[in-house]
Structure 1
Amino acid sequence: MSAQGQQVVILKEGTQRSTGRDARGSNIMAARIVSEAVKTSLGPKGMDKMLVDSFGDVTITNDGATMLKEMDVQHPAAKMMVEVSKTQDDEVGDGTTSVVILTGELLGKATELMEKKVHPTVIIDGYRQAEEKALAILKEISEKVDPKDKATLMNVSKTTMASKLVNQHSEYLSDISVDAVLQIAEPEGDGYTVDLDMIKIEKKPGASMTETRLVRGLIIDKEVVHDGMPKQIKDAKIGLLNAAMEIEKTEFDAKISIETPEEMQAYLDQEENM
């Protein structure tokens, strides 16, 4: 505060400051630009995007989370859209494009209401009521699926893969995916819980998608330390060690005083015999 009681704001040179309606308009516009960028990748006729980073690496995808992760977004509101997509990917694993588009459309409708002099607080309250209604409808129309009903689970998996590059192998990969999830599903209350961290994916370039296989166990991606070692062992006994297999050097402070050539030779002889 200054001596006259006026507020003094010190900003970095080149910083732009906006408040009120201008700030809301800028934030909504930035968020909607992100939404429009991914909109054309949605649906059965959605197009893949080719992304080239600063190193020249090329990524071809129609996954919303991947696209937004590769985009160099600077605007704070646009970064929030990226976080929305990331959260959707972490929590659900799909619908990353849809959630960004839906958010953009909600902001667009909110803009129309604000132009009609509807206060933002009223709009937020209305959206919260709509959320509660939507969740109630989803709960009403949802169907409980028995884990033994593999056909339904595979249909869910194939639907998810339909818009991905792997869609031509969706039947084969869905079978593997469902089996992998069922292996780690644990009963919890009226349903099941799945810790996806229990599923690890090892990728090896050069082979076909149909050579993908499920290993009910553990894969350690390491090469043999010597060519003479066996490549395959049946009924092997495996030891798990939580320690390094190496001999640590003993740390000690010692001084050796050598005064004659004979003592030096004796020291070297002892070193060879150790």
Structure 2
Amino acid sequence: MAKEISFNIDARDQLKKGVDELANAVKVTLGPKGRNVIIEKKFGAPHITKDGVTVAKEIELDDAMQNLGAQLVKEVASKTGDTAGDGTTTATVLAQAIVSVGLKNVTAGANPMDLKRGIDKAVAKVVESIKEQSEVVGDNYDKIEQVATVSANNDAVIGKLIADAMRKVSKDGVITIEEAKGTDTTIDVVEGMQFDRG
């Protein structure tokens, strides 16, 4: 298959379009007030989700250069999910902003390597500030419930169940979440080991 080669403004414009297409689809899911996205499946029922990385993984663009831009942002979301376990939508929005402002500056004549060094310095300062502002949750189950509730899209019932599970198993235990066949949400505590099949 022949490779398409693009340079300068044409390449940057197409990459940015791809970044924007993916980021605009993902960013509506941002935060506790984020909206759901319906994903069409080739087979079966459509999938409804509020998870940014799930939306990102489903996006494939027809234009090769635009798809390359989308894949770059998809990689940002995926790595954030793997590293932090959350924050994929925030990472996508930040990546879109960095690409947008960065390309404006490069088009205006800025040195791309100077921009990268500036971004690296800014990231170091932001990380330092976040570390200063962070609070250790520890064994404070009120804080655990608060964090769990926010992570569960402000579902206080789920937040309380997660905090109860954390209280029962402590920091050395393992919590496994499984989809139930019915409508009840329950907690089962197993002492020792459990084997599903023998």
TM over 0.5, shorter chain: yes
Offset at residue 135 of structure 1 (A)? 1.2
Offset at residue 200 of structure 1 (A)? 3.3
1:161 corresponds to 2:166? no
1:204 corresponds to 2:195? no
Task: Evaluate the alpha carbon distance shift between residue 106 and residue 161 of structure 1 in structure 2; reply closer, same or farther with a 3 A threshold.
Answer: same
Map of 1:50 onto structure 2: 38
Structure with greater helix percent: 2
1:117 corresponds to 2:109? yes
Q: Kindly indicate whether the alpha-carbon contact (under 8 Å) linking 1:41 and 1:48 is maintained by their aligned counterparts in 2.
A: yes
User: What does residue range 189-268 of structure 1 map to in structure 2 within 5 Å?
Assistant: 199-209=175-185, 211-222=186-197
**Matched residue type, 2:139:** K
Map of 2:50 onto structure 1: 62
1:138 corresponds to 2:130? yes
Separation of aligned partners in 2, 1:184 and 1:149: 15
1:152 corresponds to 2:134? no
Greater radius of gyration (CA): 1
Separation of aligned partners in 2, 1:38 and 1:184: 35
Structure 1, unmatched stretches of 5+, are: 1-11, 186-197, 223-239, 241-274
Separation of aligned partners in 1, 2:36 and 2:169: 28
Identity %: 26
Q: Kindly indicate whether the alpha-carbon contact (under 8 Å) linking 1:65 and 1:85 is maintained by their aligned counterparts in 2.
A: yes
Separation of aligned partners in 2, 1:26 and 1:177: 48
TM-score (norm 2): 0.83
**Cα shift readout 1:49-74 (whole Å, capped 9, x = no counterpart):** 11121113321111011112233356
CA RMSD of aligned residues (A): 2.5
Q: Secondary structure at the match of 1:94?
A: coil
Structure 2, unmatched stretches of 5+, are: none
TM-score (norm 1): 0.62
Which of 96, 117, 124 matches 1:104? Answer: 96
Q: Secondary structure at the match of 1:143?
A: coil
